[in-house]
Amino acid sequence: MFKKIFNFFKSVKTEMSYVSWPNKDDIKEGTTVVIVMAIFVAIFLSLIDTGFGFLIRKLLVLG
């Protein structure tokens, strides 16, 4: 049983050596993209929500 556990962690170490980790510039760029897209989506959804709210208010008042 301990041999299987040892082999598992040995395999994990081997696989982790194949991973290409991002450098500092890549992390900054990725973080910037995520923040900008989150702001864009928040503004877009707010506009859609405001538009639907306005439309529903008009339909209920006129209906």
- Could you tell me the pTM of the whole model? 0.64
Q: What is the pLDDT of residues 22-61, one digit of tens each?
A: 999 999 999 999 999 999 999 999 999 999 999 999 999 8
Question: pLDDT at residue 2 above 70?
Answer: yes
Question: pLDDT at residue 16 above 80?
Answer: yes
pLDDT at 61: 85
- Beta carbons within 8 Å of 22's beta carbon, 6+ residues apart: 30
Residue 21 and residue 34: Cα distance in Å, rounded? Answer: 18
